[in-house]
């Protein structure tokens, strides 16, 4: 499958057909058992960090952790993605979203 730059595609199929697994492979969140592929030119087996730096993934059932503050949720995700300058990125994100004054709230 090849998707041209700027194109919007739907990924449709019945339950259990592998849509979510394929998307997770393409986003660098899973490593394939066999085969090969690239996302944005990066190898999905060897360059998952580069893929994660350039691709966002939103699950159908997205939720934040209710027992963590806004800041803690952002910091947790930043650590998972091994973002450099994590604290600075979290601070800037809170400012940009107008949430800095509420960053300590659950």
Q: Are 77 and 52 in contact (CB under 8 A)?
A: no
Q: Share the mean pLDDT of the chain.
A: 90
Q: Between 59 and 20, where is the model more confident?
A: 20
For residue 53, give the DSSP letter: H
Which residue, among 103, 25, 24, has the nearest Cα to 64 in the 3D structure?
A: 103
pLDDT of residue 9: 85
* Chain segment 39-62, per-residue pLDDT in tens: 999 999 999 989 988 888 777 766
The pTM of this model reads 0.58
* Confidence grade of residue 64 (pLDDT, cut at 50, 70, 90): confident
Residues 6+ apart with CB under 8 A from 88: none
């Amino acid at each position: 499958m090849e998707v041209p730059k700027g194109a919007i595609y739907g990924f449709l199929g019945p339950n259990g057909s592998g849509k979510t697994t394929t998307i997770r492979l393409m986003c660098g969140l899973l490593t394939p058992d066999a085969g090969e592929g690239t996302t944005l030119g990066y190898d999905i087996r060897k360059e998952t960090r580069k893929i994660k730096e350039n691709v966002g993934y939103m699950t159908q059932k997205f939720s934040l952790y209710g027992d963590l503050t806004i800041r803690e949720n952002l910091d947790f995700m930043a650590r998972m993605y091994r973002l450099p300058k994590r604290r600075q990125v979290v601070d800037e994100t809170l400012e940009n979203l107008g949430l800095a004054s509420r960053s300590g709230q659950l």
